[in-house]
Structure 1
Amino acid sequence: MSKSLEEVNQSVTTQNKTTVFRKILAFFGPAYLVSVGYMDPGNWATDIAGGSQFGYALLWVLLMSNLMALLLQSLSARLGIVTQRDLAQASRETYSKFINFILYFLAEIAIAACDLAEVLGMAIGINLLFGIPLIEAVMITVLDTFLLLFLINKGIRKMEAFIIVLVMIIGFSFIFEMIFAQPEMGKVIYGLIPSLPNESALYIAIGIIGATVMPHNLYLHSSLVQTRKFDRSPKGIKQAIKYNFIDSTIALNMAFFVNAAILILAAATFYKNGMFEVAEIQDAHRFLQPMLGTKWAPILFAVALIAAGQSSTVTGTLAGQIVMEGYLNLRIQPWVRRIITRLIAIVPAVIVILIFGESVTGKMLILSQVILSLQLGFAIIPLIHFVSDKRKMKGFHISRTTQVASWIVALIIVSLNAKLVYSEIQGWLETSENPLILWLTVVPLAISFLILLLYIVFEPFVSKSKPAIENHSPHLLSLKFTPTETYSYKNIAVSVDFSTADEAALNHAFELGGMDAKYTLMHVVETVGAMMYGDEADDHETSIDETLLHEYKEMLSQKGFKVETQLGFGDPAKIIPTIINSGNFDILVMGTHGHTGLKDLIFGTTVDKLRHKISIPLFIVKN
């Protein structure tokens, strides 16, 4: 299995730091990318609705959500640090293909719901600040596709710095908003005591939990911590877990401050003046200036909203890439993934706005957060299972106390969601003119999701995890060689990638050279570590590839073939021609995965890039 976010995996070294502070600083960053998901525009909608309708009463929900988030994100970080697997990859290695496909589908729905909130939030911010119509502002959000590509090419540290700047803009904006609003501190403290005024408050509370504890962030964090290169000894792993926990605590508390500030602003401005129906971000923006007496209040509000939407959309796309690659083992070009994610969010947003008008955006934002909350159980439960597994975690599994706390959090979230779903379906059945349709569609669907939830709760207790197949084993190759009288080539290079394509490539090479030819098996390690450190790279994938290349040589040598190996590091389109042109080869044989045209555009291709760079014939074998 390929590395999670392979282009930036282990790209930040934490070793050889002269002081403890510098070492801690080297680990800081992943949690800030995660934290923006906790202050995205979806949070704004639920926080404003909660503050305007119930005053400070739901502040405790934010605090509880933040504590839940800190626990769950620390589990996610632990999984990535110890196993070098993200949550999607760990699920793929544990559950069946059918279950993984459903979990993937649910994760994609969660990411689409999250991206919908980010699209709407940014569009509303652009609309409020510059007066651009909402539909056009939604279209403008497509442009951040190019921003993500620019940032990822500059390296993960540059991306982290960009996100931290946006987080600081949001934070400073709300510091000034608090100064303008002058909330009643006694009521703020009282709001930290748990209470639910009525049934409507439960819907908002679940929306707040869904907006705060986001399923896609669990996938994201387990991957981002793998961007750090550190000592893989028990002491080094323990240190990495500790520093990442500190990183998470600081970043998530900043997110809590922003969310609390939005709710307090709504309570101190709208609830205090009897404006209980303000749930739309546009309404909140419009009323801020007359009620707080300063033009800066709405301007800072809109600037912070754009910063929140822009920062969270970058991390949401990374999460989408992680989910797709982890569950499906399918890697597509980042710009394609980005456009697909964005269109999934933009199309429904445009359709709903055109049909119902701009007034429904607030309801869409809150609905997106409730959808996120409903997906949470399907991400949290596998995560708890994985980090509790002694074998999978190699001695770094969580303690019994942490397991109990984690299961309590999962139970709270799943119970709240179950109550919400039950209440909603009951309401639909009572008000529907034709309830039979609901009994035949919605009810069976809800029951099937309940069965799936119960399955992923109990399945790991009764079965063992599937062993991870890192690459294609040489012992799985079916090599068919029948000697003939004449052969064309004496020195043959064969490019191998430890997939099923190797079988066809090797068989055709033997037909060209027979037993007397010399075969050089080439493989190029494409990790970020390989690109940066060349033959000095010492990461997990390099060691696996070296082992497999040696096994290929041993197996073929035992069959009587003359075999040498050559391991390259970096971009295959550049490294393979360098090896070929510096050797004395007669022909290069390469296997392909059989995709052309549009698939080449999506998945990328090596053959076309290197064919004009080599001075010998290229024999392409279609798999």
Structure 2
Amino acid sequence: MDVLGSKQDSGWRNKRGEASLSDVHRSIDISQSGSRWRRLAAFAGPGYLVAVGYMDPGNWATSLAGGSKFGYALLAVALLSNLMAIVLQSLCARLAIASGRDLAQACRDAFPKWVSIPLWALAEIAIIATDIAEVIGTAIGLNLIFGIPLELGVLITALDVFIILYLQKMGFRWVEAFIITLLGVIAVCFAIQIFLADPQWGGVIRGFFPTTEIVTNPEMLYLALGILGATVMPHNLYLHSGIVQTRNYGHTLPEKKEALTYATIDSTVALCFALLINASILILAAAAFNSTGRTEVAELGEAHSLLAPLLGLAIAPTLFGIALLCCGLNSTVTATLAGQIVMEGFLKMKLQPWIRRLITRAIAIIPAAFVTIWYGDAGTAELLILTQVVLSLQLSFAVFPLVMFTASKAKMGQLVAPIWLSGIAWLIAVVIAGLNVKLLVDFVSG
């Protein structure tokens, strides 16, 4: 019995219910007799599923637009967003390990229904926005590599549910292996493209230092918030707090402390890798497009067609298409798991994964298909950037509860976040909320 967990339940309005992702809960054993490196390796995996959200197709659109229009200037936003993500994802692991709840379950058990139900609705909107980006990105990837029309590619993306079902049947480690393999392919593709683009490394380094123009220029702020929404994603907070619990890390305080250390290392290393990919997209756009005077490139298809003449090799656009398709497939897996965690956690409603996936995907396909058919490539680019801004606006509704819970001794017991960490997390939450208010004021005032 989890004695620590039962004591901490006294800090919640409702007792803890069914385990998060019950079909894979604590399904991966952690050998207490093995070396530290073996135990650390056993925890490696969830962080890379989280990292996928930091390089999804929606991120590509905002980074391409930012890099082509403002050069390397928005690299500072990518770095700041990544540092925010490292802090917030560590809190997700802390919440899961200390309370035995994912973020959705924690919201349900801490708040009355008139608060938790709207939070569930906002979380669903965030997942739909994420899914729209994946539908469009995967469809564009299929178009770029195989020449499949965008309209047909959008419909084909509904079939990816079978990939997830097959992987989940084989075990959660297979899901993680699939994700990490595709991340490796993406990294190789971008390494080659960056080498071909030969960016100005002095400009790249300067780009990691923020300027006041990011806040004072409404157009730059809009893209910066898009990058923020594409980096620190609401569904990732729910996802991480669920999949950390696939590890069978024991119930004593020392075991939980060790699990928290290893889970934090896993997510931090994975997010540093994500920053490399995220920054690579922006650097590639700045080096290939901004430096040649093409400052309005935002469509993924347009970027693909311009890479060959600008970089001088026919393989460049192919690598771009392969990386994009891999990103779309990866994001599909993580959005499915996040959707399952959100629905089961908030509503205690269990659906078969394939039913849940088809419902979410159908909701995403309708607007994606309409925009693709009606407006073509230009419309899909605008929709991609819009989805990322929507995610940014939803972010506070996941971040504030997370910071509240992990700062509460009554809810977290001896694993409560230290004061310095809670202080940084509150600052991040306020900065995100403040930027969103600024975006809305600019939008309303025109």
TM-score range with shorter-chain normalisation? Answer: over 0.9
The yes-or-no answer on 1:398 pairing with 2:417 is yes
How far did 1:212 drift? Answer: 0.2
In structure 1, how many angstroms separate the alpha carbons of the residues matched to 2:122 and 2:367? Answer: 17
State the match for 1:608 in structure 2: none
Asked if 1:295 corresponds to 2:311, the answer is no
Mapped to 2, the partners of 1:278 and 1:224 lie a distance apart of 37
Measured in 2, the distance between the counterparts of 1:233 and 1:330 equals 30
Question: Contact 1:17/1:23 (CA < 8 Å) preserved in 2?
Answer: no
Relative to the length of structure 2, the TM-score reads 0.95
Partner of 1:317: 336
- Corresponding position of 1:219: 238
Corresponding residue for 2:190? Answer: 174
Instruction: Report what 1:362 is aligned to.
Output: 381
Displacement after TM superposition at 1:17 (Å)? 4.5
Q: 1:133 aligns with which of 143, 149, 165?
A: 149
**Cα offset, 1:99, TM superposition:** 1.2
> Match for 1:411 among 420, 423, 430?
430
SS in 2 for 1:394: helix
The C-alpha deviation readout for 1:48-94, integer Å capped at 9, x for no partner, is 00000000011000000000000000000110111110000000011
Aligned counterpart in structure 2 of residue 387 of structure 1, from 406, 412, 415: 406
Selected match of 1:28 from 31, 34, 44: 44
Over aligned residue pairs, what C-alpha RMSD do you find? 0.9
Do the aligned partners of residues 161 and 17 (structure 1) sit closer, same or farther apart at CA in structure 2, a change above 3 Å counting? farther
**Aligned equivalents of 2:378, 2:82: Cα separation in 1:** 30
2:371 aligns with 352
Provide the rounded CA distance (Å) in 1 between the counterparts of 2:385 and 2:347: 30
How far apart in 2 are the matches of 1:114 and 1:18? 39
- Asked if structure 2 preserves the Cα contact closer than 8 Å seen for 1:15 and 1:229, the reply is no
Residue 423 of structure 1 corresponds to: 442
Give the superposition deviation at 1:355.
Answer: 2.3
1:279 matched to which residue of 2? 298
Matched, 1:247 2:266: yes
Q: Distance in 1 between matches of 2:43 and 2:377?
A: 43
Please tell me whether the aligned partners of residues 9 and 227 of structure 1 are also in contact (alpha carbons under 8 angstroms).
Answer: yes
* Count of matched residue pairs: 427
Alpha-carbon shift at residue 3 of structure 1 (Å)? 1.0
Equivalent pair of 2:299/2:377 in contact (CA under 8 Å): no
Is 1:64 aligned to 2:80, yes or no? yes
Q: Secondary structure at the match of 1:395?
A: helix
CA contact (8 A) 2:122 2:394 kept: yes
Deviation at 1:13, TM superposition (A): 0.5
* Structure 1, unaligned runs of 5 or more: 428-623
Q: Which runs of 5+ in 2 are unaligned?
A: 1-16
Structure (1 or 2) with the larger CA radius of gyration: 1
Distance 2:148 2:373 in 1: 16
More strand by share: 1
Runs of 4+ in 1 over 3 A off after TM superposition: none
Q: Give the corresponding residue for 2:208.
A: 192
Q: Which has the higher helix share?
A: 2
Contact 1:15 1:231 in 2 (8 A): no
Matched, 1:376 2:395: yes
Secondary structure in structure 2 of the residue aligned to 1:5: coil
Tell me the equivalent position of 2:27: 11
Partner of 2:14: none
In 2, the alpha carbon distance for the partners of 1:281 and 1:355 equals: 17
Distance 2:142 2:325 in 1: 7
The separation in 2 between residues aligned to 1:313 and 1:264, in whole angstroms, is: 25
1:186-585 matched pairs, under 5 angstroms: 186-195=202-211, 196=213, 198-427=217-446
Residue number in structure 1 paired with 2:119 = 103
Tell me the distance in 1 between the aligned counterparts of 2:267 and 2:222: 28
- The one-letter amino acid of 1:178's match is I
Flag the structure with more relative contact order, 1 or 2, with Cα contacts below 8 A and sequence separation at least 6.
Answer: 2
Which of 25, 31, 54 is residue 38 of structure 1 equivalent to? 54
Contact 2:51 2:270 in 1 (8 A): yes
- Cα separation, 2, equivalents of 1:190 and 1:424: 29
TM-score, normalised with respect to structure 1: 0.68
Shifted more, 195-204 versus 142-151: the winner is: 195-204
Give the drift of 1:392.
1.0
